[in-house]
Amino acid sequence: MNLNQKIKGINFKNPVLLASGTYGFGLKFKEVINLTGGIITKTITFKPMIGNPPPRIYEFEGGIINSIGLENPGVKYFKNKILPNLKNLNTNLIVSIGGNSVKEIIDLIKTLEDEIISAYEINLSCPNVKEGGINLGQNPLIVEKILKEAKKITKKPIIAKIPSVFCNPIEIAKITENNGADFITITNTIPGLVINIEREKPFLGGISGGISGPFLKYYSLYLVAKIRKIIKIPVIGCGGIRDYKDVLEYLFCGAMLVEIGTLNLVNPFIVAKIIKDLKEWGKERRIKNIKKIIGKIEIEI
């Protein structure tokens, strides 16, 4: 099965992308990254962020809750020290960007603009920072402003990673489309809380965290199926993928691309197997092109 797709001017050798925050900045496991359709870096903010105090991760049956707090070295360091080491990547480099304000996000894009980046993914939905993050994405007016301003200053495609709770994700999706987003990622982690009953306080150092992992697939898939009927821009499905079968579920529901996240923390090599299995599956069924299966199932919800 030919997995290659050219979408919005970007060539994706297959539909599997590495989700932001689960594969660092692309400096490690380059041989694995090169097998994927692209890597979305850990979110960069304008200024460096030290992240949240530990513990930063909690596990439950069905997923994990993380509270990293957007730890990153800031855009200047990223541009000067990290990007030069990514020039030899043989796949798409998508930079995840975030911030506390519209201005910060715009300044960030301005700083990066000349570089060898395939697209930006704007993180409108990180639940792990006190200001900005999910709060930006939940406010339709701010989403509108970010996209309008961003489109004015960049020719690169913009992916909007939208929040899916504490807002109307359908409304937010429409706004991102109407204001020039080229892709939409559904969905980020959703907020969660764990209490340490012995210490009578929240378990995570950052108090609340973002829930991800296998359980999230069912909600995310529902949203993908619903939203892709309403908007025309390509949808990237993200949430709880464990194997090629989960990838197929997203593709059948209309996602053109998928992101793998939590699974990378379990095994940084597993994405290679998923891509291989996906090819095999198509070959066995004599499906020539991935386009034949995208959105194949009509779902009325």
Partner 1 sequence: MNKIFWEKTKIKEKINFTDKIIGFWIITENIGKNSKAGQFIHIKIDESNSLILRRPFSIADVKNNEIFFIFRIVGKGTSLLSRLNKTDEIDILGPLGKPIEIPEEKDILILGGGLGIAPLYLLSKTLLENKKNLFALFGAKNSKELILKENLEKLNFKELIFYTEDGSYGKKGKVTDGISPITKEKKFKVIYSAGPKEMLKKIKLIFNKKIKIYGFLEERMGCGVGLCSSCAVPKNDKTYLHLCENGPCLLLNEILL
Q: Does 276 bind partner 1 (CB under 8 A)?
A: no
Q: Which of these segments, 65-73, 104-112, 113-121, 177-185, binds partner 1 (CB under 8 A)? A: 65-73
What amino acid is encoded at 197 in this protein? I
Number of residues engaging partner 1 in binding (CB under 8 A): 35
Cα-atom radius of gyration of the chain, to the nearest Å? Answer: 18
Q: Does 134 bind partner 1 (CB under 8 A)?
A: no
Local structure of residue 86 (DSSP, 8 states): G
Can you tell me which of 68, 94, 184, 290 binds partner 1, judged by CB under 8 A? 68
d(CA 93, CA 113) in angstroms, rounded, equals 13
CB atoms within 10 A of CB 106: 20
> In the bound complex, what is the minimum distance in angstroms from residue 80's beta carbon to partner 1?
19
Q: Whose Cβ is closer to partner 1: residue 51's or residue 202's?
A: 51
Q: Does 78 bind partner 1 (CB under 8 A)?
A: no
Local structure of residue 46 (DSSP, 8 states): S
Q: Does 52 bind partner 1 (CB under 8 A)?
A: yes
- Among residue numbers 2 through 31, which ones bind partner 1 (CB under 8 A)? 21-24, 28-29
| Helix (DSSP H) and strand (DSSP E) numbers for the chain | 10, 16
> In the bound complex, what is the minimum distance in angstroms from residue 48's beta carbon to partner 1?
9
In total, the chain counts a number of residues equal to 301
Q: Does 218 bind partner 1 (CB under 8 A)?
A: no
d(CA 36, CA 149) in angstroms, rounded, equals 30
Q: Whose Cβ is closer to partner 1: residue 138's or residue 264's?
A: 264
Q: Whose Cβ is closer to partner 1: residue 51's or residue 140's?
A: 51
Q: Which of these segments, 48-56, 169-177, 220-228, 244-252, binds partner 1 (CB under 8 A)? A: 48-56
Backbone dihedral region for residue 44 (phi beyond 0: left; psi -120 to 50: alpha; all else: beta): beta
> In the bound complex, what is the minimum distance in angstroms from residue 53's beta carbon to partner 1?
7
Q: Does 297 bind partner 1 (CB under 8 A)?
A: no
Q: Does 64 bind partner 1 (CB under 8 A)?
A: yes
Q: Whose Cβ is closer to partner 1: residue 18's or residue 256's?
A: 18
Q: How far is CA 274 from CA 55, 218, 247, 264, in A?
A: 31, 19, 8, 11
Q: Does 262 bind partner 1 (CB under 8 A)?
A: yes
Query: 253 catalytic, yes or no?
Result: no
Cα angle 278, 280, 284 (rounded to 5 degrees) comes to 120
Q: What are phi and psi of 170, to 5 degrees?
A: -70, -45
Q: Cite the beta strand spans of the chain per DSSP E.
A: 5-7, 10-12, 16-18, 38-40, 57-60, 63-66, 92-97, 119-123, 158-161, 183-186, 190-193, 195-196, 201-202, 208-212, 235-238, 257-260
Q: Which of these segments, 77-85, 110-118, 262-270, 282-290, binds partner 1 (CB under 8 A)? A: 262-270
Q: In 3D, which of 236, 250, 238, 242 has the Cα closest to residue 266?
A: 242
Q: Does 74 bind partner 1 (CB under 8 A)?
A: no
Q: Which of 126, 167, 238, 253 is catalytic?
A: 126
Q: In the beta sheet, which residues pair with residue 94?
A: 40, 119
- Among residue numbers 231 through 250, which ones bind partner 1 (CB under 8 A)? 242
Residues that bind partner 1 (CB under 8 A): 21-24, 28-29, 42, 50-59, 61-64, 66, 68, 71, 205, 213-214, 242, 262, 264-269
Q: Could you give the residue numbers annotated as active site?
A: 126
